[in-house]
A = this chain, B = another copy of it.
Amino acid sequence: MLDLTELVNIDVTVAFVWYAVLLIVKMMLMSALTGMFRRKKKAFANPEDTALVAKGESAKKFLRTDPDVERVRRIHLNDLENIVPFLFIGFFYSFSGVSLSTALLHYRIFFGSRVFHTIAYLIPLPQPCRALSWFAGYLVTFSMVYKLVMVGLST
């Protein structure tokens, strides 16, 4: 039977956990940002929430969608769609026998790509800024998938 401790390069896994925590915190901040935008733009999704800014009949007009709120919500959903796959693939990848420097390169580019993606989406920067930053993170994840498949096929 395979010795589990042989599989584990603890330095790589610890590095993964640092970047995973950074990415999760970044993703969770989108919740707070959505709340801030909803209050600032007075655009709520639920009737009970409009009580924050108005009472009675006049509150109904704040039950609406706002382009800036929807923009923040799209960033959040895009984070879920991209960061969650990274968290699983990056975790498996940290056990693939990869060197610390190669793993860090992957984790750092991915983290940078997601931070830049959010900035490009929020400002917004003209395309293809956002598209390219999204694609960089997408490629990093597929590069880790490639390594996992190569290791898997050779054992």
Give A residues with C-beta under 8 Å from B.
Answer: 1-5, 8, 10, 14, 17-18, 20-21, 24-25, 27-28, 30-32, 45-49, 51-52, 70-71, 74, 76-77, 80-82, 84-85, 87-89, 92, 121, 124-127, 130, 138, 141-142, 145, 148-149, 152
Contact = CB atoms under 8 A, between A and B. Distances in A.
Contacts of A49: 127
A71 B51 CA distance: 17
- Copy tally for this chain in the complex stands at 3
B24 A88 contact: yes
B138 A28 contact: yes
26 contacts: A1-B5, A1-B10, A2-B10, A3-B5, A4-B8, A17-B148, A21-B89, A21-B92, A21-B145, A21-B148, A24-B85, A27-B81, A27-B85, A28-B85, A28-B141, A31-B82, A32-B138, A45-B70, A45-B74, A48-B124, A48-B125, A48-B130, A51-B126, A52-B127, A80-B80, A84-B84
